[in-house]
Amino acid sequence: MAKVKPAATTPAKTVKSKTARATAPKAKATNPLLSPWKSKLGLPPFKSLKAEHFRPAFDAALKEHEREISKISGARTKATFTNTIVAMEKAGAVLGRVSRVFHNLAGADTNAELQAIEREMSPRLARHSTAIYLDAGLFKRIDDLFQRQGNLKLDAEQTRLLERYHKMFVRAGARLDARAKRRMGEINERLASLGTQFAQNVLADEQAFRLPLNGAEDLAGLPEFAVAAAARTAADLGLSGHVVTLARSSIEPFLQFSTRRDLRETAFKAWTKRGENGNAYDNRAIAAETITLRAERAGLLGYKTFADFRLDDAMAKSPAAVRGLLDEVWAAAVPQAGRERARLEAFARGEGQNIRVEAWDWRFYSEKVRKAEFDLDEGEIKPYLQLDRIIEAAFDTASRLFGVSFKERNDLGRYHPDVRTFEVTDKSGAHVGVFLGDYFARPSKRSGAWMSTYRGQRKLGGEERPVVVNVMSFARGGEGEPTLLSFDDARTLFHEFGHALHGLLSDVTYPSLACTAVATDFVELPSQLFEHWLSEPAVLKRYALHYKTGTPIPDTLLQRLDAARTFNQGFATVEYVASALADLELHSLDDPKGLDVTRFESQMLERRGMPREIVMRHRLPHFAHIFSGGGYASGYYSYMWSEVMDADAFDAFKEAGDAFDPATAARLKEFIYSAGNRRDPAQAYTAFRGRLPTSQAMLKKRGLAA
């Protein structure tokens, strides 16, 4: 699974600083973050940026935003949509710009200095944001407009924006009394610090682990591509020989192919113990305090639990609705995983290994069983999945669906030598946006994959087109060799590019409704839907070319890939749903004081009948989706909620008889990819499909339908 990382701050969602320092005009003139950007197509001035620029830039931007908000809040004129809501949309432009650049770099190319600034700024930004949302004068004006909206002659997008502002302020505590507001501010500030520390701890644990492979014995079983990648990883770290790290694209091939069961166990335990090693980077106390503070915040707002609070503003609406979907899928997946385990153990016995399959054995034996049953293994597929060709496949798919083109621009700036920069244009040649691709794992980058923006889209005050980035952590190919992807890696690339298209194609007026600013359980629809085109034979036959011979992937291999489509889906579904259930149940605690997250995780899984050979996809001490900023807190179910929609949505193309049907693609672009948050998610999906989806298409896709 991949996650989308929303823009770090938007003009209406940033923080008041009591310690903002004045910035002299000379400093503004010399600070590239504060001076007018002269870079082409709206890119930040990456070449001129230094870590030392961020503190003064934040100081100046916070001070400017405070003045803007004070002017709106203290206005003596009657509130209008223009002098209040539009003014809020325009306010904080500099702060939003500085924040987006900083938080993108802090995730993708960090260092000790940036991490120190991140720890300092997180509570300051939270304090500033809280001060805005709890500003009584500001809310009085927004509430007045909300109550009078029927007489304001607003269009549909303006009405939606006003409703979203009102709801955001109410959910932030605008109606609380003074004492509760003070406590809300304290909670928000502390949660911001905890989220930053959690993410930095996970990165530190990941960076600390290196598994050296010394000689042929340690490399036993690894195919050529895995050996080459391990050699390149070692070289990138300044080491000799071969090294496996905790980057998913490094460790997963090792777990799939290494015949060294002892080394697989070592690597797997390190992978699953991130944030739980009893060292300075242990996240268990941070996670417990985070859950306790979230529960308190929900209680201040009148909700029984944080899950109730969070889901009240989601497409799902309630924990019961989410639990119903997860329970349905869990009930089908656990027995399937049991049957899969039996096949793995039978295969091991057939090889003379009278073992009980453990978690570090599952990927190894499932790869063997897949080879035996479908004449298919990852080592056969990977030579056809070159990174550069899969990038081209994603671009071509977007072009055929939505009429956009991608041209690499080496004259445009980039924040790291690995980054590739593309200008995106439409059929007429008009500028659509800029796409940055950052594909390789490195120590300065947190693991995983995500999409974010350096600049959003808006029409307010003049057309402004987005600058979007995809960040991934693929293991680089050997020296002089192309980078080869697993099928899961290729799917991740398509997934994140679906998010990128959601940002690039955005076509709304107001920035708070633009790009991926939609409900968490709707934001994964564009990304997961785009994954489907990777499996289309027309795409694979054109772009899946053998890296040595250049020959297209054979029809027989495509047929075997399709036949194995639901192989091991019991395992994949259980490891994901276990994480989603843990997230939901953790945030459904009404009194989490004294929480031990390890004990909670263990007891919850035991109650649920978690197979002992499967580990949660994200164990709680390193579950960054829900603890690092909390974007998916009580929302990790969103991938499956969206999968219900994406399976049904792709059926629309099947029903049209063409995976690139123009009429279906036009509806998809109009109501999903370009529409931002102009509509309620259920209305948006219904406008595209004509109805809401059911779970049957998703269960069938996973091979779990009755």
Asked whether residue 166 is assigned to any structural domain, the reply reads yes
Predicted local distance difference test score (pLDDT) of residue 20? 35
- Using CA atoms, how far residue 682 sits from 1, 201, 313, 522, 528, in Å, is 23, 38, 13, 9, 17
pLDDT in tens, 282-301: 999 999 999 999 999 999 99
From CA 703, how far away is CA 333, in angstroms rounded?
Answer: 9
Query: For residue 560, is it within any domain?
Result: no
How confident is the model over 118-147, as a mean pLDDT?
98
Residue range 541-595, pLDDT digits in tens: 999 999 999 999 999 999 999 999 999 999 999 999 999 999 999 999 999 999 9
Question: How far is the C-alpha of 313 from the C-alpha of 309, rounded, in Å?
Answer: 8
Q: Are residues 33 and 139 in the same domain?
A: yes
For residues 509 and 677, give the distance between their C-alpha atoms in angstroms, rounded to a whole number: 11
401 and 548: one domain? Answer: yes
Residue pLDDT, tens place only, 482-491: 999 999 999 9
The two structure tokens encoding residue 399: 């072009």
Structure confidence at residue 4 (pLDDT): 41
**Domain assignment present for 607:** no
Same domain, 127 and 228: no
The closest of 320, 335, 298 to 585, measured between CA atoms, is 320
Answer yes or no: do 231 and 144 share one domain: no
pLDDT of residue 74: 97
170 with 213, same domain: the answer is no
Full-model pTM: 0.93
> Do residues 433 and 518 both lie within one domain?
yes
- Residues 248 and 239: their CA atoms lie apart, in Å, by 20
**How does residue 27 score in pLDDT terms, banded at 50, 70 and 90?**
low
Question: Which residue's entry shows tokens 């036949």?
Answer: 563
Q: How confident is the model at residue 36 (pLDDT cuts 50, 70, 90)?
A: confident
Q: Whole-angstrom distance between the N-terminal and C-terminal Cα of the chain?
A: 25
pLDDT value, residue 28: 57
pLDDT of 13 > 50? The answer is no
pLDDT digits (tens, 9 = 90+) for 486-507: 999 999 999 999 999 999 999 9
Phi–psi pair at 422, nearest 5 degrees: -130, 140
Least confident range of 111-120, 370-379, 416-425: 370-379
pLDDT at 38: 83
327-360: b (≥16 Cβ within 10 Å) or e: eebbebbbebbeebbebbbebbeeeeeeeebebb
DSSP letters spanning 23-63: --HHHHHH-TTTSPP-SGGG---GGG--GGGHHHHHHHHHH
pLDDT tier for residue 413 given thresholds of 50, 70 and 90: confident
End residue of a domain, out of 531, 554, 577:
554
Pick the catalytic residue from 496, 531, 613, 643. 496
Mean pLDDT of the chain: 94
Quote the crossing angle between the two packed helices 487-504 and 520-531, to the nearest 10°.
Answer: 120
Residue 489 falls within a domain, yes or no?
yes
| pLDDT, tens digit (0-9, with 9 covering 90-100), for 256-274 | 999 999 999 999 999 999 9
Shared domain for 76 and 132, answered yes or no, is: yes
Q: What pLDDT is attached to residue 566?
A: 94
Q: Is residue 234 part of a domain?
A: yes
Q: To the nearest 10°, the Cα dihedral for 206, 211, 212, 214? A: -170
Is residue 120 part of the annotated active site? The answer reads: no
**CA 392, 418, 440, 243 torsion: positive or negative?**
positive
Question: Domain boundary at 175, 197, 217, which?
Answer: 175
Question: Are 397 and 505 part of one and the same domain?
Answer: yes
Highest mean pLDDT among 29-33, 239-243, 694-698, 702-706: 239-243
On whether both 511 and 416 belong to a single domain, the answer is: yes
Domain presence at residue 474: yes
User: Do both 547 and 419 map to the same domain?
Assistant: yes
Helix-strand-coil split of the chain, %, nearest 5: 60, 5, 35
Q: Under DSSP, is residue 565 helix (H, G, I), strand (E, B) or coil?
A: coil
Domain range spanning residue 389? Answer: 383-554
Of 220, 254, 272, the one marking the end of a domain is: 272
* Domain assignment present for 244: yes
Are residues 387 and 523 both part of a single domain? yes
Q: What is the mean pLDDT of residues 516-539?
A: 96
In a domain, 615, yes or no: no
Domain count, the chain: 3
Residues 45 and 147 in one domain: yes
Beta strands in 220-358 (DSSP E): 242-244
Q: Taking residues 374-401, report their average pLDDT.
A: 96
User: For the domain that residue 163 is a member of, what is the CATH number?
Assistant: 1.10.1370.40
